[in-house]
Amino acid sequence: MGIFNKKRGNWVVPKGQELTEMDKKILYYQNKGYTVPRRGLILTPGQIEGVRKAGVVNTGILDLVSEKIHAGMTTNEIDKLVYDYTIAHNATPATLNYVADEKSKLIFPKSCCVSINEVVCHGIPSDDEILEEGDIVNVDVTTILNGYYADASRMFIIGKTTPEKEKLVRVAKECLEIGMKVCEKPYVFVGDIGNAIQRHAHANGFSVVRDLCGHGVGLKFHEEPEVVHYGRKGTGMLLVPGMVFTIEPMINMGTWKVFVDSEDGWTVVTDDELPSAQWEHTFVMTENGVEILTY
Ligand code: MF3
Ligand code: CO
Ligand code: CO
């Protein structure tokens, strides 16, 4: 008799406990072989309120950056704005001294990521980097308040840029909005989001970064599921009420391929060094679809 390894279902209902409507829906998909969340990914209403409060501070930071950002400013000056506002609101910048992988012990030294033009993400603020007219700049901020995490980023155009770069920034924003539209009801899959985003990017002649993705967030900085921005419908994890996650498409003007700058181990750059744009929000899935927690 053969015996084989199989992954146990994520969704477990304790013995003797009556099935809720939500249990029934999730078990339906699980029994059909789809990937479903485990209970640990469902936040309580109290926890969701905690993330919402972190989101209010995070949004305040991005609004401040939006007000102050200008040509001639260094990226470290942006970082100082982020740090000071965060501390003044009794919060902590999640990226400051963040260790992405325990093995490499690589530490991110700043309070936000600032990624200019061909830098896709994880740009490290510096005194030597000065914003110039025509740059397209992503500022990505994650705030921890009372242990809850909110993560969002926006693009800023410095002065006037080229029509192509302007289109890239616009289409990347539309990709986030389209991902959100897919989530206007619960019980959709991560792959449904990715599929819609990929179609929109391609229809506009752009590509989608594959090496980095959105993620579960709220109780931790990075959690399941992986929210990929490309792929097939019905793949990836089922999104059910109570899950908190980001959508953060990185859209490239040229190739989707990227590399990490070996100088610092963080900065992600497009392989052809053509521009890239990204927008990000933190969302909570509800019975009526997603709600943005980082407005
Ligand atoms: N905020 C980024 C995200 O959207 C993560 C930055 S991690 C850092 O997931 F270490 F590079 F800062
Ligand atoms: Co982010
Ligand atoms: Co994120």
pLDDT at position 249: 99
Atom of ligand 1 nearest to the CA of 98: 10
Per residue in 166-204, pLDDT tens? 999 999 999 999 999 999 999 999 999 999 999 999 999
Q: Is 79 in the pocket of ligand 1 (CB under 6 A)?
A: no
154 CA to centre of ligand 3 in angstroms: 12
What's the CA gap between 23 and 150, in Å, rounded?
A: 27
Alpha helices in 17-162 (DSSP H): 21-31, 45-68, 75-88
Q: Is 94 in the pocket of ligand 1 (CB under 6 A)?
A: no
Q: Are 179 and 290 in contact (CB under 8 A)?
A: no
Q: What number of helices (H) and strands (E) belong to the chain?
A: 5, 19
Which residue positions in the chain have pLDDT lower than 50? none
pTM above 0.75, yes or no: yes
Atom of ligand 1 nearest to the CA of 217: 9
Q: Are 195 and 231 in contact (CB under 8 A)?
A: yes
Per residue in 132-157, pLDDT tens? 999 999 999 999 999 999 999 999 99
Q: Is 281 in the pocket of ligand 1 (CB under 6 A)?
A: no
